[in-house]
Amino acid sequence: MTSHATSVRLRPRRVVRHLLVGLTVALVAALTPTGASTPAQAAPTLLSQGRPATASSTENAGTPASAAVDGNTGTRWASAFSDPQWLQVDLGARATISQVNLLWEGAYGRAFQLQTSDDGATWTTVYSTTTGTGGTQNLTVTGAGRYVRMNGTARGTGYGYSLWEFQVYGETGGSTPTCGSSNVAQGSPATASSTENAGTPASAAVDGNTGTRWASAASDPQWLRVDLGSTRTICRVVLTWEAAYARAFQLQTSTDGATWSTIYSTTTGTGGTQSLTVTGNGRYLRMYGTTRGTAYGYSLWELAVHTTGGTTEPPVDGTDPRNPNLGPNTFVFDPSTPTSTIQSRLNTLFTQQETNQFGPQRYAVLFKPGSYTADVNLGFFTQVAGLGMSPDDVNLNGHVRTEAFWMGGNATQNFWRAAENLSVTLPAGQTVERWAVSQAAPYRRMHLRGGQNQIQLWNGGDGWSSGGLLADTRVDGLVVSGSQQQWYSRNSEFGNGWTGSVWNMVFQGVVGAPAPSFPNPSHTVIAQTPQVREKPFLYVDGTGEYRVFVPALRTNSTGTSWYNKTPAGSSISLSQFFVVQAGTSAATINAALAQGKHLLFTPGVHHVTEPIQVNRADTVVLGLGLATIQADNGSVAMRVADVDGVKVAGLMFEAGTTNSPVLMEVGPSGSSASHASNPTSLHDVFFRIGGPHVGKATNTLTVNSDNVIGDHMWLWRADHAASGVPTGWTLNTADTGLTVNGDNVTMYGLFVEHYQKYQTVWNGNGGRTYFYQNELPYDPPNQAAWMNGSTRGYAAYKVADSVTSHQAFGLGSYSYFNVNPAVVEERSFEVPTNSNVRFTNMVTVSLGGVGTINRVINNAGGTANAANQTVYLTTYP
């Protein structure tokens, strides 16, 4: 709808609206007797004017939510042209609501509800209609709450919803909310200190089924914890005990799952059903048992939590999907943008970011469908991406490249950048595209056109590169790896094949892959990818609406998801996303998630002091410009519930200066649900302990859920010097990179480096890893500082002794003990000897002969040291 059409459409309705208001005033005056006496009473007050207003969407920048509460009948809020839509006002305090006036523009609601809420999350309907006629509606209602919204479910026209004014009348200081009857714990994530067996999980106490139960081990103390999703005002807890009850226990609340406050305590519990009136606030509630009433453990049929509905979470702004605010560091170009403007911006960004590997700047450069002429030379923390449904919808005549001239041709520090969803046509007379990168630099969903062309994965003729990813990509010509030390290619198509090998090249589901030949050359070839979902991506549809496409799961796949085919998957309007700007608190982010929103993080460093909690199945969390979430004050950065189909993509997680127990947790401890048909997946998710400042985290990523897919991850601890970067064995401290406790977890393209104990610990059954790159910590000061009991050092990849099935393909582990070259690692891979635990194609390297790896796997394989720097082993056992 053009601005001209808007102005024409509104002219007659402005007259109607003023006539309606005038008639209403005149009618009230006519029906009020002159000098009539009425009982004295407090008149309802207009509470909404000038208050903060939010909406599910806006038609354009000229029709914001605030226009409906500004007292100006010449301005309006208008929504997108879809159902449902809502407009919400925060009154600032709880109020008793007696009247709501809706002054509709021509685009009105035929079916809508008026709703109140104390927390902006749980709503009570105080008025409902399916026969709305628009105009001015003065509606008498009875209700109370801090928040009031119009929730439209069916539009009366082909346009959106549009209100000149949204007026809420009432009196502040409403009555204290009563304790709610609903059980907010039911279905929420639950964890426990222990379980008696697999049939008595923590989740059984919050499933609403009084025939299932949680039971603990037979020892003291034990606890059961439930995550309510946001901070709640808790007024009653009901414990339905099985015979094994608690004689002494406390009920405790917490905002972060770490620091607890006791809101109830007893030492004379009698079991049975206990309905306990309490007063407390918290996101987490737990029963903490200190003395059992029987010789058995603790056992609860159900744990129910009731609240007044109050939370501390703020309201959440809606997103206009046609004109979203993607932050100040996102640059969107369309074909009408002058070529000189585009190139100037690209040059400025590269100059700033070429060497800026530890600065806070983050950038995304996005191209709408069309054809462009541009030379895109990517520096640190810069993402370039097309906004088409197919890479071929955006063609750059020029280059999308990464060079290593800033390090004299050495690309081993070219990290943290991305090229996605574009096609590239090289300039006439040029046949080489250079992508000289190492970790965390995906070349994903790309198309390099021209069978005569080649892409070089190193700087060409000089220097080294050390590990990267090609995924869902078509190269019409030849891929040349040169001095690239290791590389993972997945579900791609190479028109003229691949040439080159150093230590560890892995090809999976690749059309045009070389023949398998490990170790000479070191090509590991896996014909198909058993189950994978490609990374979600932002695009603009044919109407100009921003949407996110979520590719479908593929099974036993080869080749790309898009070339000469229609991608399978689903599309989500950006109106369903909360766009996270730098400075947004975790509380606001969690409030958006609690309202059913997906998340889009804008480029920048986002600081959190409590976990971002993703509780809803199928939630999409997508970052632009390698957006970074930093865990401050020892917090966990993100927790994902044990639910189906969460997708987290394009983000970096960074440790703060106070130690965090873990940066990201997928599924709480004890997770056991199957997600085989709809797994959670992590795409281009990177982790950093130290770098721009001292960083500390005991664990980095812990996967407790079953069936999780990892699609390209780099977990990294800063352990060697760079300009101005604090490093040291006792400064950047981190025990473990990846811990997998869930079953049937699959990792594609896994990079884990420099941790102080095990790099990767795998405790779940049925795990699979396709391509693994590891460097051991550079900085153990001596052997005594790096001992695992009586064993020298810690393995790079540890499969627990209890595991009965595991597979891994194409693994490399390297030592460079430059602080003390006398340090020895006993073995790189430590696994149970079992015919169903199989490792295929491994390499260990003593880089430059600095340090020793005594064995490849268990007690098999040779020694990598100064005399024999590279050792291969093809199978174990």
Known catalytic residues are 775
Which amino acid is present at 778? Y
| CA–CA dist 415, 490 (Å, integer) | 19
* 621 touches 645 (CB < 8 A): no
Query: Which positions ≥6 away from 566 have C-beta within 8 Å?
Result: none
Query: CA 734, 737, 740: angle at the middle one, nearest 5?
Result: 135
Query: Is residue 210 helix, strand or coil?
Result: coil
| CA–CA dist 803, 766 (Å, integer) | 8
Q: At 149, phi and psi to the nearest 5?
A: -140, 150
| CA–CA dist 132, 110 (Å, integer) | 4
| CA–CA dist 473, 12 (Å, integer) | 54
Number of H helices, E strands in the chain: 3, 62
Q: Pairing relation of β-strands 53-55 and 85-104?
A: antiparallel
How would you classify residue 193: left for phi > 0, otherwise alpha for psi between -120 and 50, otherwise beta? alpha
Query: CA 160, 161, 165: angle at the middle one, nearest 5?
Result: 150
Query: Is residue 348 helix, strand or coil?
Result: helix
* 804 touches 765 (CB < 8 A): yes
How many C-alpha atoms does 247 have within 13 Å on its Cβ side? 7
| CA–CA dist 64, 72 (Å, integer) | 13
DSSP assignment string, 140-165: EEEEEEEEEEEEEEEESSSS--EEEE
In order of 78, 81, 128, 840, the CA distances from 4 in angstroms are 16, 18, 34, 66
Give the bridge partners for 829, in sequence order.
Answer: 797, 857
Residue 238: closest CA among 302, 188, 167, 321: 302
Q: Rg for the chain (alpha carbons), in Å? A: 30
Calculate the dihedral angle through the C-alpha atoms of 200, 201, 207, 213, rounding to the nearest 10 degrees.
30
In order of 524, 737, 756, 792, 822, the CA distances from 851 in angstroms are 27, 21, 16, 12, 6
| Cα four-point dihedral sign 870, 871, 872, 876 | negative
* 460 touches 482 (CB < 8 A): yes
Q: Tokens representing 313?
A: 């979470």
DSSP symbol at 179 = P
Give the end-to-end CA distance of the chain in Å, rounded to a whole number. Answer: 67
Burial grade of 648 (CB within 10 A; 0-12, 13-18, 19 or more)? buried
* 141 touches 99 (CB < 8 A): yes
Q: Tokens representing 623?
A: 């970052």
| CA–CA dist 403, 422 (Å, integer) | 19
DSSP symbol at 407 = G
Query: Which positions ≥6 away from 296 have C-beta within 8 Å?
Result: 215, 218, 243, 244
For residue 442, cis peptide bond before it (omega within 30 degrees of 0): no
Calculate the dihedral angle through the C-alpha atoms of 435, 438, 440, 444, rounding to the nearest 10 degrees.
30
Residue 685: closest CA among 626, 754, 755: 626
